[in-house]
Amino acid sequence: MHHLIETDPFRFDGTKRLKLKKQPHQVKDFYENKKDYKELLSEFHEELDELQSMMYAHNRYALLLVFQAMDAAGKDGTIQHVLSGVNPHGVFVRSFKKPSTLEIDHDFLWRTHFRIPSRGTIGIFNRSHYEEVLVTKVHPEILLESQRIPRSHTQNLDKVWKDRYEDIRNHERYLYNNGVHIVKFFLNLSRDEQRDRFLARIDTPAKNWKFSEADVKERAYWDDYQAAYEQAINETATPHAPWYVVPADDKKNMRLIVSQVILNHLNAMDIHYPKVSKERKKQFAQYREMLLKD
- Virtual torsion, Cα 237, 128, 126, 122, nearest 10 deg: 70
d(CA 123, CA 169): 19
Tell me: pLDDT of 93 over 90: yes
Nearest to 122 by CA among 153, 94, 150, 151: 94
Give me the pLDDT at residue 3, please.
61
Percent of the chain with pLDDT over 70: 99
Sheet with 122-126, strands from edge to edge, namely 11-12, 243-247, 180-188, 62-69, 122-126, 91-95
- Which residues is 216 bridged to in the sheet? none
Tell me: pLDDT of 1 over 50: no
User: How many C-beta atoms lie closer than 10 Å to residue 12's C-beta?
Assistant: 20
Phi/psi at 248 (5° precision): -120, 5
Q: How does pLDDT run across 97-154, given as a tens digit for each residue?
A: 999 999 999 999 999 999 999 999 999 999 999 999 999 999 999 988 888 888 888 8
* Of residues 3 and 186, more confidently modeled: 186
d(CA 193, CA 72): 9
Nearest to 110 by CA among 125, 99, 123: 99
Give me the pLDDT at residue 294, please.
82
Q: How does pLDDT run across 203-247, given as a tens digit for each residue?
A: 999 999 888 888 889 999 999 999 999 999 999 999 999 999 999
Confirm if 97 and 127 have CB atoms less than 8 A apart: yes
Q: How does pLDDT run across 249-282, given as a tens digit for each residue?
A: 999 999 999 999 999 999 999 999 988 899 999 9
Confirm if 186 and 75 have CB atoms less than 8 A apart: no
Q: How does pLDDT run across 20-38, given as a tens digit for each residue?
A: 999 999 999 999 999 999 9
Q: How does pLDDT run across 155-194, given as a tens digit for each residue?
A: 899 999 999 999 999 999 999 999 999 999 999 999 999 9
Tell me: pLDDT of 88 over 90: no
d(CA 257, CA 247): 9
Nearest to 241 by CA among 171, 184, 174, 163: 184
Consecutive H or E run containing 66: strand 62-69
Three-state DSSP state, 71: coil
Phi/psi at 41 (5° precision): -60, -40
CA 170 to chain centre: 18
Q: How does pLDDT run across 34-69, given as a tens digit for each residue?
A: 999 999 999 999 999 999 999 999 999 999 999 999
- Which residues is 113 bridged to in the sheet? none
Amino acid of residue 51: L
Phi/psi at 177 (5° precision): -65, -20
